[in-house]
């Protein structure tokens, strides 16, 4: 028995229960934007090396920024049933704190579906890239708090 709070129809299942991509062809194009954030927590000594541009793998923030932008553009190839979108803007920014790096991604499109998955993917891959580039000096880092903080139609 399906609980009352559970939808009786799932958008990504056809009437036979097979997975499908939702048909959005009849939806109007709308300006859409989403912001996601996440955090890489690391040792203060790692942040000190980052600020001094002394990490062994170089300019980790620039590399992670490019990785985040690339990830947003590749979201539909990574997440099954996610629509390919013509993104009109992707911005990945970092706030370096004493014990970690806050990652923000803003993604925009003029399309039929939202861009929150692209923003989440940008943050996730930027965080993974930071982790990869800092792991030689910090084995105790963690990635977390990845979430959508804003989603809207304009």
Residues identified as active-site: 132
Q: Name 51's Cβ contacts closer than 8 Å, sequence gap at least 6.
A: 96
Beta-strand pair 142-153/100-111: unpaired
* Alpha-carbon span 136 to 45, nearest angstrom: 12
Long-range contacts of 149-153 (CB under 8 A, 24+ apart): 149/35, 149/36, 149/37, 150/33, 150/34, 150/35, 151/32, 151/33, 151/34, 151/35, 151/114, 151/116, 152/32, 152/33, 152/34, 153/30, 153/31, 153/32
């Amino acid at each position: 028995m399906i609980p009352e709070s559970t939808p009786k129809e799932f958008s990504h299942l056809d009437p036979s229960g097979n997975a499908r991509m939702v048909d959005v062809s009849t939806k109007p194009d709308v300006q859409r934007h989403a912001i996601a954030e996440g955090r890489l927590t690391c040792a203060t000594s790692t942040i000190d090396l980052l600020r001094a541009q002394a990490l062994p793998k170089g300019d980790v923030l620039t590399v992670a920024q490019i990785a985040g932008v690339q990830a947003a553009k590749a979201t539909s190839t990574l997440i099954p049933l996610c629509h390919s979108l013509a993104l009109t803007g992707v911005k990945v920014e970092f706030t370096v704190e004493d014990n970690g790096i806050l990652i923000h991604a803003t993604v925009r499109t003029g399309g039929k579906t939202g861009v929150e998955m692209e923003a989440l993917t940008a943050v996730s891959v930027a965080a993974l890239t930071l982790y990869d580039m800092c792991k030689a000096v910090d084995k105790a880092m963690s990635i977390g708090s990845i979430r959508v903080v804003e989603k809207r139609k304009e």
